Structure 1
Amino acid sequence: MEDMKVIVTMVGQEWASPGSILDLFLESFRNGMGTKPLLNHLLIVALDNKAFEYCKSVHPHCFYLSNSSIRHARNKQLSLPLLKNNFWIEVTELGYSFVYTDADVMWLRNPIPQVDGLKPITVACDVHPGDLQSINNIMDGGFFYVRSNRVTSKYFKYRELRRILYTNSQDQSLCEETVVNRELFKTLELRFTYMERNLYGGFCQQNVNTSTIHTLRANCCDDTESKVHDLKLLLEDWKNFTKKISMEGWSSPFTWRAPSKCKG
């Protein structure tokens, strides 16, 4: 990866323990196509002390996100959404462009070369064009890229101000914001692009193309236990798939066992 570009994920204690989602997330990097070297660029942001202690035992680059660790938050107590947003402000102001990925997103291939580096924001977001205002019709791939510049920093500062002024406002993902707040992006002159739909997927999606898929998210799961169960199946199947490719060349269509406990 280029200098001044990092990969970031965030976990709390529920997702950071032996046999947890964090373990499976790291395993996907070790077994994905072209993804293992990316671990050197991965920063795991722990949202509590237990997650931070476990992170240090499995990965060299960990950061404990607290009010005392963020320059903008010192001497005041911020809610977790505001704390996260202040973290993004500091990252962009330090000149770092970043790829954010949820920890329940398995990296099967390296998606970074597919990012449009000329656009300030690239997001994995499947929008149904017939109903752009309905959040329920958006498939969020749990992955986005932000290029550090004046406009992206201004965007995160706007989000901070909005949450301070409207304390009961809904915490929307970046994927959702690109749909419901398009006028804001136009006002800020902040260009964004959606990733190609065949590059990412999730358990909500019925058909996943193994020849093109880069990241796959454990969505449509009611609980963490179901996520862990189905992600284990996913990674086992992926290992078998890649082994067949290396031994036999391109093989016949592949069948995933996951999702099993998740809704799919």
Structure 2
Amino acid sequence: MKGGDVSSISPLVSFVLGAAMATVCVLFFMSASPTRRLADISAFSSANATNDLRLASSDSHNGVADGNAEETAAAAEVTASPAPAPAEAPSPWGDLEEVLRRAATKDRTVVMTQINAAWTRPGSLLDLFFESFRTGEGGVARLLDHLVIVTMDPAAYQGCQAVHRHCYFLRTSSGVDYRSEKMFMSKDYLEMMWGRNRFQQTVLELGYNFLFTDVDVMWFRDPFRHISMAADIAISSDVYMGDPYSLRNFPNGGFLFVRSSAKTIDFYRAWQQGRWRFFGKHEQDVFNLIKHDMAAKLDLAIQFLDTTYISGFCQLSKDLNKICTLHANCCVGLGAKLHDLRGVLDVWRNYTAGTTEERRAGKFQWKLPGICIH
């Protein structure tokens, strides 16, 4: 070759050889340290991501960037935090479970009554109800510690809180004004009775046994002694035939003990359905109509309480040495109930003040006749 040709080729050859050697070195380095290569790639990616976040932050702050990596990481952690758990929906029954828990015995049993404003006025039924416990015998007053008073209106709730520990305000959506006296079998009266029945079912569903007592029941001795351990339901009698497990007895729902179980809850569901099957009937009448079928279907033990001990104006016990409770049943009107129950308490006070000999001799008897008592 000529000298001029060699000089023109040499630069090209040098370039090609140099590039080839550089490529060989890079490939040798990367194949010799794959872990380092991945780490370098990761670092590069992270660096670019951090730069992107810085740029975005800088743009959002009109070009002012703090360049603080710790703040960037903290911002990422905040973004990744899980959303707070949704708050539990409030119970439709408000503080009912708390009231029941405070009042219940160790076996989850409560005594319950239900009142409105008409029955909480001074000198009205609630005063007589409490007095009967205070003048009762055999420690019956201690049962007040387990009494839940269910109130139907704000005035009754306030009146309850002034005199008792365990008060519950049963809010209803029926549109009925529960403050005044409800005449027997009126539309508002039936609404109140069936609402009471549904509330009792709720107490069972919450796992509590209850002894429900109307506020016009006077308590002289502990009635639990006469409630059988075998009974799923124990109910007072308007007319007692002599056999506590005979379904021929006539029930009265104003004094009613129920154990919480699947059977009794199913019974209450059928009882509520009976409101519409026998439309216009009192809940006590519906109990009487379904007791045969439901007792057989559910294998339910229903005890009817002997009126010698758990008595009422319908079938009056005249033995003050045995009587535990006395209900102003078969008596219509608040005034009539108040009149006769005041007379009952007068006789009871004289009885408790009497000597053992006077008691045994039967010296003390109810004042008969009254407006309803006979």
SS at match of 1:226: helix
Task: Identify the residue that residue 173 of structure 1 maps to in structure 2.
Answer: 284
Is this contact kept in 2: 1:89–1:153, CA < 8 A?
yes
TM-score, L = length of structure 2: 0.60
Mapped pair 1:56 → 2:161: yes
Task: Identify the residue that residue 237 of structure 1 maps to in structure 2.
Answer: 347
Specify every segment of 5 or more residues in structure 1 that has no aligned partner in the other structure, as ranges. 69-78
1:231 deviation in Å?
A: 1.0
Task: Identify the residue that residue 129 of structure 2 maps to in structure 1.
Answer: 25
Larger RCO (CA within 8 A; separation ≥ 6): 1
Aligned with residue 149 of structure 2, among 44, 50, 57: 44
SS at match of 1:43: strand
Count, aligned residues: 247
In structure 2, C-alpha distance between the alignment counterparts of 1:196 and 1:93, rounded to whole Å: 28
In structure 1, C-alpha distance between the alignment counterparts of 2:216 and 2:342, rounded to whole Å: 11
**CA deviation profile, 1:142-166 (whole Å, cap 9, x unmatched):** 3111011111111112223343x54
In structure 2, C-alpha distance between the alignment counterparts of 1:152 and 1:146, rounded to whole Å: 7
Mapped pair 1:159 → 2:264: no
Change (3 A) 1:263 1:195: closer
Percentage of matched positions with identical amino acids: 34
Write 1 or 2 for the structure with the bigger share of helix.
2
Write 1 or 2 for the structure with the bigger share of strand.
1
**CA deviation profile, 1:19-46 (whole Å, cap 9, x unmatched):** 1011101111111112110000011111
Q: Looking at CA atoms only, which structure, 1 or 2, has the larger radius of gyration?
A: 2
Aligned with residue 4 of structure 1, among 84, 108, 115: 108
- Listed as ranges, the matches of 1:70-149 within 5 Å are 79-125=191-237, 126-128=239-241, 138=250, 140=252, 142-149=254-261
Change (3 A) 1:200 1:245: farther
SS at match of 2:366: coil
Task: Identify the residue that residue 74 of structure 1 maps to in structure 2.
Answer: none
Change (3 A) 1:260 1:148: same
1:204 deviation in Å?
A: 3.4
In structure 2, C-alpha distance between the alignment counterparts of 1:151 and 1:138, rounded to whole Å: 22
In structure 2, C-alpha distance between the alignment counterparts of 1:120 and 1:180, rounded to whole Å: 16
In structure 2, C-alpha distance between the alignment counterparts of 1:25 and 1:181, rounded to whole Å: 30
Change (3 A) 1:157 1:7: same
Is this contact kept in 2: 1:203–1:259, CA < 8 A?
no
SS at match of 1:173: helix
Task: Identify the residue that residue 9 of structure 2 maps to in structure 1.
Answer: none
Q: Which runs of 4+ in 1 moved over 6 A?
A: none
1:53 deviation in Å?
A: 1.6
Change (3 A) 1:82 1:249: closer
In structure 2, C-alpha distance between the alignment counterparts of 1:261 and 1:127, rounded to whole Å: 22
Is this contact kept in 2: 1:29–1:108, CA < 8 A?
yes
In structure 2, C-alpha distance between the alignment counterparts of 1:149 and 1:245, rounded to whole Å: 45
Mapped pair 1:66 → 2:171: yes
Task: Identify the residue that residue 252 of structure 1 maps to in structure 2.
Answer: 361
TM-score, L = length of structure 1: 0.82
User: 1:22 is matched by which residue type in structure 2?
Assistant: L
SS at match of 2:212: strand
**CA deviation profile, 1:208-257 (whole Å, cap 9, x unmatched):** 111111111112333211211221111121011011146x6744211222
Give the aligned CA root-mean-square deviation in angstroms.
2.7
